[in-house]
Amino acid sequence: MLRLTILASGSSGNAALLETERGRWLIDAGISARRLEERLQATGVEPASLAGVFLTHEHADHSRGLRVFLQRHSLPLYCNELTWLALGEEERIDWRRLETASRLELEDLEVESFPVPHDAADPVGFLFHHSAGTIGVLTDLGYATRLVLEKIGLCRALLLEANHDLALLQADSRRPWSVKQRILSRHGHLSNESAAQIAAEMAQRKLEAVVLGHLSEDCNRPELVERAIRDHLEREKLAPLAVHVWTEHAPSPPLCWE
């Protein structure tokens, strides 16, 4: 059994729960510790039952609740050294080094990290290999490098960033041009169209389901994301994927594979 639940996903907070028959882990902790606890309990999971937290990078929308949550529940943190140093955390946190491009065996999982282009210290994507298949986590990147596409080609399911609709971002009056440039840069965030291109390419390999997340509240809408994915699949004459779009406001129903 392999199960993924999105606890929060958006520009202001990201966290997911990965479960197997032998363990439970958080992926990122970008909402407060209290909200993390509430959302875990809403899915029937007690925080004390977790085996650890994986961290993609140090930005606040992925690490906001990390320190308090780890200290409350005495959990290990898995991340690379540059991310750990960028967090500036105290030594009493149980840090387990998981260097970029390395692999780690934990219970019935093999965890693999790989580099992604984003404006953080050493941001990564994750592959969680299991007998039921491979789940990929790919959020916060400006574009998909050849390495990224090679890695996620193994995935049966993929959590993929779809941060913004290009027209809504360009029309947004609250963001200065410098911020828009950062978002649109090769170390920024994926647009709906970019996410759709990635999903369509992976649909020609092993991908069965894609979960679109990290949506901007101001510059995106779930229906725009779904339309971009489905239109791209239709243009390429590809079989439909299972497409799920989620935001930060409530936990998703669990997605399960056997």
100-149 per-position pLDDT tens digit: 999 999 999 999 999 999 999 999 999 999 999 999 999 999 999 999 99
Average pLDDT, stretch 161-166? 97
What values do phi and psi take at 87, rounded to 5?
-65, -30
pLDDT digits (tens, 9 = 90+) for 28-74: 999 999 999 999 999 999 999 999 999 999 999 999 999 999 999 99
Average pLDDT, the chain: 95
CA-only gyration radius of the chain, Å: 17
Q: Alpha carbon of 2 to those of 68, 87, 156: distances in Å?
A: 27, 30, 11
* Helix, strand, coil abundance in the chain, percent, nearest 5: 30, 30, 40
Please tell me the pTM assigned to this model.
Answer: 0.96
pLDDT of residue 249: 75
